[in-house]
Structure formats: C-alpha cells, structure tokens
Amino acid sequence: MGVIYIGLPEVLRCYLPDYIINGWFDYSYKLTKAEETQGVARGLAFLLAVPIALFALILTALRTTAQTAQAKTDSDRLLAETFAKSIELLGHKQSAVRQGAIYALGKIAETNIEERAVIANTLCAFIRDSKSTEKSSTDNTEKSNTDNLAIDIEAGIKVMVRISKDLPKYNRDKRPYDLSNIHIKYADFSDANLENFNLSDSTFKTCLFEKTNFMNSNLIHTTFDDSNFQGAKFNKDTELKKANLSKVKNLTEEQIAEIMTIREEYREGLELPQP
C-alpha cells in the first residue's frame, strides 16, 4: 500500500487539482462541500476518459481496416480491368498497340505473381497464333504485316523470359506452357526458364539460348538451326526425340554428356553436332 500511496498522488496530480489530491490522501485536510463535489466530478471525468479513448482507438482501427479492404477491392478491380483490356488489345490491328498490351501484361505478371501462369499461357497463345501469318505471307502488304507481327513476337518473348524465373512454382495445373509448332528467327531466350514448356514441332533459327533451362521440356521434332546453346541446361526428363541439334553452336562435351543421360526413348532419333 505504501507504493500506491506514494505513487498514485503523483500520477493523479497531472489530472486533478492539488486540493483534491490533498483531500484524498491527507486525512488532516478537510474538503469543503464544493471542493468535494468538484473533485468527484473531475474524478468521474478522468475515469470516463479511458474507455472513451479506447473506443476511439477501436473506431479508428475499424475505419482503417475498412479503408484497406476498400483499397484492395479497388486495386483488384483495376487489375481485372487492365488485364481484360490488355487481352482485348492483343488483337488490335496496330503493332504499337499490341506491343503496349504485351508489356502491360508483363507488368501485371511482375507485380501479381498469382497471375503469372495465366499471363504466360496467354503470351504463348499469342505467339502461336501470330506465327501462322508469318508462314503464309505472299505479297508486300502481307510481308509488312508479318514484320510487325515478328516485332510483337519478340516483345512477347522478352516478357516471357522476364517472368519465366518462377513459372514452374505457379503452374498449379502442371500443364506445359505451349509454344509448339512455332517458327522463330533471331529471338533471344537467354536465361529463360523453359522448364515444363512444350516446344515440339518448332523451328528456331539464329536464336540465343544461353543459360536457358530446358529441364522437363518437350523438344520433340524441334530444329535448332545456327542457335547458341552456351550454358543451356538439360536433365533426364528433357524430351529430345527426333530433335535436331546438329547445327547449334557452343554445345560443349559436358552438355552432350548430360544429354546422353536422358532416357533412351526420350532421345531416339536425336541429331547432335558432329565432332
């Protein structure tokens, strides 16, 4: 009780007049009726201030939570609108607009990792669809359009490479990313993580695959012509059946030894560079 008697007056003195404190803790001091009434009123006010302050803090916390939830809702809505608009603009007739849509999707993928796999599949579909025009051009008008599409494909590949690092982690349904039956020239896939990609029945001419990860990838019946494979990675589940690597550059003996560890049925008909 001694500690309370000594400490409590000092605390209360910050809030109540001296004569009130003296009246409460010094029994030789006699309060007048007015002082007693005033002291009780101030004491009650002090006691009520604490729950009121707590209530104000709770209201502030609830308001902050509501504002945060609203901000997230607004952000999600903006994300959905941007995504939908970007998908729509991939079919625009102007090359610059299509490229802008591709880079917008890339920005979404970088900041929203849960959307990364969806955007990767979208870009794969865009690249696959675009390649058909490249093969069918016959006159100058179509060739000009083809050149623009090639730029779009390059933009799509750049974004794909940029977001590919963690793609296997976010591929929930485990289906391969489909880049099959495409015909690409002068593209840069360096440092791309193409794990679990389907590149079958495709042709890559004069492309860069430096330090590209082909682990668990499907390269069946795919031709790599005059392409740089320096540091490219394979594993026992890389499918190379009837793949043509005979004209690739910078494929080392160590890489070839790694390829030879692939299951025999996965490399049946594989063509490698001649010594």
Residues of the chain under the 70 pLDDT cut: 1-48, 50, 66-67, 69-76, 131-149, 170-173
pLDDT at 150: 72
Alpha-helical (H) ranges within 164-265 are 167-170, 253-259
Please give the model's pTM, rounded to 2 decimal places. 0.67
Q: Helix, strand or coil for residue 133?
A: helix
**Residue 5 CB: number of other CB atoms within 10 A?**
9
pLDDT at 152: 85
C-alpha separations of 107 from 112, 145, 189 in Å: 8, 26, 19
Helices 18-25, 2-12: crossing angle, 10 deg rounding: 160
Instruction: Provide CB contacts within 8 A for 50, sequence distance 6+.
Output: none
What pLDDT digit, counting tens, does each position of 50-89 carry? 677 777 777 777 777 766 766 666 666 777 788 889 889 9
Residue type, 119: I
Say if residue 80 is exposed, middle or buried (CB neighbours under 10 Å; 0-12, 13-18, 19+). exposed
pLDDT at 131: 55
**Cβ–Cβ under 8 Å, residues 222 and 200:** yes
What pLDDT digit, counting tens, does each position of 17-48 carry? 555 555 555 545 555 666 666 666 666 666 66
Distance CA 246, CA 90 (A): 36
Cβ density class 232-261: b for 16+ within 10 Å, e for less: bbbeeebbbbbbbbeebeebeeebeebbee
pLDDT at 199: 96
**Cβ–Cβ under 8 Å, residues 222 and 204:** yes
